[in-house]
Amino acid sequence: MLVGGKGTRLRPLTISAPKPMLPVAGVPVTEHQVGRAREAGVTRIILGTSYQAEVFSDYFGSGEEFGVELDYVVEDVPLGTGGAIRNVADALESGPDDPVIIFNGDVLTGLDIAGIVQAWRDADADVAIYLTRVQDPRAFGLVPTDADGNVTAFLEKPQTPEEIVTDQINAGCYVFRRSLIDEIPNERPVSVERETFPGLLARGAKVIGYVDDCYWLDLGTPLAFVQGSADLVRGVAPSPAVPGPTGEALVLADAEIASDATVTGGSVVGRGSHISSGAVLASSVLFDEAVIGEGAHIERSVIGRGAYIGAGAVVRGAVVGDGARVEAGNELLDGVRVFPNQTIAPGSIRFSSDQS
Ligand code: GTP
């Protein structure tokens, strides 16, 4: 599993924790992935870490508690997605022709993991790439295939309409023949998407696409993050690791919710959090120990650990960092990010039509 990225698009949440360790539906993204891999029969997982590496080993330890054997390989300098795959080679126990499954650490998916390995075997492929179809592929790596499912090109983040030749995108999970991992250049940054895959095609390797239209979401942006969390809570996204029954809300231990507050849309109320009278929390994520004041309205937002939202404040499509204070009467709308421990003074940000 590749978990070493900096997660810049999710700042400021990723200042205090690496993206794969941020809690979605109560537990780290990686825990959902480990749970699904275990269900598919995977017994040993290596985490390719770099940014805040120790946070992973502190939480997952040997993996015993999570039903798998976990090993960690740390990059002193980030090696990129391809370099990270090469860097774990010494820790692999597989033979040269065995399959090695690689997961991006920020993807939620219902992928049939055993299915993609079987497709790789059936095709006697060098690499199988999980592909999903999206309506707007511009932010992704396009991967067209021929009638037999062979990958014909890699078009990373296409800009012009002529480049949009397919709606199939790289969904961030691969099966590699082990020997090909050993061939990735060592000890320099390599992008698997921009260098390794195009290089394999150029030299005639057999690279197949495995199109699966099951649930898929890249959790890289704040809006996707709240969407993924809500989908897990409501049972739309499959995971054996959600710590509670699926439904409109996941309320974690020691949280307090006033009887006339509304918590809906797959929201998560973190451990020890407090939601005051008349407040509304819709499709949002409250990390642990957050406090929501009376009548505040939180929608499609992430509220960091220990953050405070004052009475009557509106937070919609925004991210509030750990320990920040959004005092009463503020209105934070789409895309606003409040940094950790920052204070927004009472009534200083408003966007309503009554603004003077
Ligand atoms: P952004 O900065 O927001 O783009 O996020 P990111 O740093 O996570 O990059 P991206 O989403 O492209 O990364 C895809 C996956 O690869 C994520 O699971 C990252 O954790 C992982 N990843 C990216 N770069 C590295 C790296 O240099 N080393 C390792 N070990 N993993 C990486």
pLDDT digits (tens, 9 = 90+) for 42-69: 999 999 999 889 999 999 999 999 999 9
Q: Which amino acid residue places its CA nearest to atom 14 of ligand 1? A: 104
Site to probe by mutation for ligand 1, drawn from 104, 157, 190 as the one with most ligand atoms within 8 Å of Cβ, is: 104
- Within 13 Å of residue 312, how many CA atoms lie on the same side as its CB? 7
Element (H, E) at 341: none
Same domain, 164 and 293: no
Ligand 1 center from residue 52 Cα (angstroms)? 12
Between these two residues, 354 and 227, which has the higher pLDDT value?
A: 227
- The SS3 assignment for 138 reads helix
The residue contributing the CA closest to ligand 1 atom 13 is 5
List residues near ligand 1 (CB under 6 A): 2-9, 19-20, 48-50, 75, 78-81, 84, 104-106, 220
User: Which atom of ligand 1 is found nearest the CA of 14?
Assistant: 3
How far separated are the first and last CA of the chain, in Å rounded? Answer: 51
| Cis geometry, peptide bond prior to residue 12 (ω within 30 degrees of 0) | yes
> Are 176 and 50 in the same domain?
yes
Residues in contact with 137: Cβ distance below 8 Å, sequence separation at least 6, in sequence order: 158, 164, 166, 167, 168, 169
What is the model's pLDDT at position 15? 87
How far, in Å, are 299, 315, 347 from residue 310 at the CA level? Answer: 15, 10, 10
Q: Given this model, what pLDDT does residue 351 score?
A: 67
Answer whether 332's CB lies under 8 Å from 310's CB. Answer: no
Q: 79: CA distance to ligand 1 center in Å?
A: 10
Is the same domain home to 296 and 209? no
Would 234 be classed as within a structural domain? no
The tally of domains found in the chain comes to: 2
Q: Is 268 found in the same domain as 203?
A: no
Strands 23-24 and 27-28: antiparallel
Which of 63, 56, 62, 103 shows the shortest CA–CA distance to 84?
103
Distance 100 CA to ligand 1 centre (A): 19
CATH code: domain of residue 306? 2.160.10.10
273: containing domain: 248-355
Q: What is the pLDDT of residues 300-347, one digit of tens each?
A: 999 999 999 999 999 999 999 999 999 999 999 988 999 999 999 998
For residue 197, give the CATH number of its domain: 3.90.550.10
223 within a domain of the structure (yes/no):
no
Q: What's the pLDDT at 310?
A: 97
Same domain, residue pair 186 and 268:
no
Q: What is the pLDDT of residue 95?
A: 94
pLDDT score of 312: 96
In a domain, 237, yes or no: no
Asked if the structure places residue 239 within a domain, the reply is: no
Single out the residue in 201, 218, 235 at which a domain terminates.
218
Residues 74 and 212 in one domain: yes
Return the residue whose CA atom lies nearest to atom 31 of ligand 1.
4
Q: Is residue 12 part of a domain?
A: yes
CA of 138 to the centre of ligand 1 (A): 18
User: Positive or negative CA dihedral for 258, 259, 263, 267?
Assistant: positive
- The yes-or-no verdict on residue 8 having pLDDT over 70 is yes
For 79-98, letters b (16+ CB in 10 Å) and e give bbbbbbbbbbbeebeeeeee
Task: Extract the tokens encoding 234.
Answer: 């409501």
DSSP-H helix ranges across 65-182: 80-87, 113-122, 178-182
Q: Atom 22 of ligand 1 has which residue's CA nearest to it?
A: 5
- What is the pTM assigned to this prediction? 0.93
Decide if pLDDT at 5 tops 80: yes
